[in-house]
Amino acid sequence: MNSSLLSLTPARRVDADDNRPMTAKCVMVLGTTSGAGKSWLATALCRHYARQGLRVAPFKAQNMSNNARVVEGGEIGSAQYFQALAARAMPEVRMNPLLLKPERDTHSQVVLLGQVSAELTALPWRGRSERVWPQIAASLDALRAENDVVVIEGAGSPAEINLMASDIVNLRVARHAEARCLLVTDIDRGGAFAHLYGTWALMPEADRALLRGFVLNKFRGDAALLAPAPQMLQDMTGVPTVATLPMWWQHGLAEEDGVFDDRETWTPTLGTGVSSLPPEGALAPWGGPAALGRPPVIAVVAYPRISNLDEFQPLKNMPGVRLRWVRSPAELSDADWVVLPGSKHTSGDLAWLRAQGLDRAVAAHAARGGRVLGVCGGLQMLGEALIDPHGIDGNAPGLGLLPLVTVFAPDKTVRQREATFANLHGAWAALSNVGARGYEIHHGQTAEHSAMAAAGDRAHAAMPDGLAWQNAAGNVLGVYLHGLFEDPAVLQALFGATAPTLDAVFDGLADFIDAHFAPGVLSSLID
């Protein structure tokens, strides 16, 4: 990506007819609660408007998430990364100028325009807003100057009256952008009409005028049974209900901040380009149906500070693979793989792992020859020790499954990478000489344990530059490279199949809202 895209004062586009700067129309998705469907709907809107031939960009002023992606200039929330791809735009730091990455219940690392800010991290929550608002407003204004449509995502609820005075992500952004707002609610939770009315009632009267429609999300059953409630709500508020979106678990988009369940397995359809599984009776690279008599079970340990969980979505979308989140030893009993994912607080999650007895369960799985994969923080956990001389994460003994030591450094490694696996052996041999691309986000620097190496207990370098390591038996692999399962070459090597493309997922989202929004509503939002 050209570095000029990161400037906060870009050259403004000019309309050839009247010589005036062009300013994008802004469509904003607000929610009655967290988890109402804001990220999902914003992604669908990005693809909908992009399919009209319009220049589209996503925007979220402040995102609180440990799911981040690397772009030029630093890191942004994963939701805005995927929204940019849905918009057919290059993801960049202005699309999510402020990212809060929770490390503990009462502390978050603050990332401003892609870079960690120690100064802002040290400030109290309410003390940050006026400090960062100029950068937020400048980012939004720059995106508006370069695009036809900006799709804005809110956070939580705009009716949090304890936070309104320091709001920099919901109504202040809506006013600044003169946004046409949709308010979405999760009707599956119950109380949807009360949520919609209560949110409207708690909004300042001037801001209510920005609401163009209510959206009922995750509805099960006959929509006709909702009457007369939508009309009654419109009579009370003046805001129409413009869409009732059926429950749809199989949309294929990663949940931004939640783990998933079996209902959310993506269902492939004709034209998605998903290749079939190996023929019945053939031995798949994972030791598949012929060897197991069932789909392979991949168990991802869901510790409290799990990060970058969205990178496992392709496994969930993979036909014939069972992906499971686990939090107890019993859930590992039939697992073929155990995955230790990334962590925003490695030593803390390692302590949680031990408290659950999962350390012994993972060690027993490895001793039986079962596959173990550690990604980033998971790689660090697999080693002998975590050493923290700068107070970044914390000291801790590792799981001892790889003869490695991790030392935490003050500077964070944030970069996109391409690398090729070395000649691997044992359970991971299918990855030998496979090229992969992904991204790194980590403070720790990992190397062989010098004393163990001197005694002959060495880790096999599975990738150059310390990006990946393998144990002597071949069944334990640790990698620093996030996003492996988003690489078709890696999926093909491991499973003999590929997952649906992101484009297929984004088009499915756009088709879904096209079918369920009232006619003319989506175009009226940008008229």
Contact 457/467 with Cβ under 8 angstroms? no
Burial class (CB in 10 A: 0-12, 13-18, 19+), 144: buried
DSSP 146-167: H-SEEEEE--S-TT-TTTGGG-
Beta bridge partners, 478, equal: 374, 469
Active-site residue, selected from the candidate residues 345, 443, 449, 482: 482
Active-site residue, selected from the candidate residues 181, 376, 443, 449: 376
Is the alpha carbon torsion for 406, 409, 414, 418 positive or negative? negative
Residue 12 is given by DSSP the state P
Nearest to 470 by CA among 385, 379, 388, 398: 379
State yes or no: is 443 an active-site residue.
Answer: no
Contact 311/479 with Cβ under 8 angstroms? no
What does the alpha-carbon distance between residue 38 and residue 151 come to, in Å, rounded to a whole number? Answer: 11
Q: Which residues touch 50 (CB under 8 Å, ≥6 apart)?
A: 56, 86, 87, 88, 89
Measured in residues, the chain has a length of 527
State yes or no: is 26 an active-site residue.
Answer: no
Beta bridge partners, 21, equal: 14
Q: Which residue bears the tokens 């109380």?
A: 191
Q: 392 is written with which tokens?
A: 């970044």
**33: three-class secondary structure by DSSP:** coil
DSSP alpha helix (H) spans, 11-124: 38-50, 78-86, 118-122
What does the alpha-carbon distance between residue 374 and residue 369 come to, in Å, rounded to a whole number? Answer: 15
DSSP 245-268: EEP-TTS-PPPSSS---GGG----
Residues annotated catalytic, as ranges: 376, 482
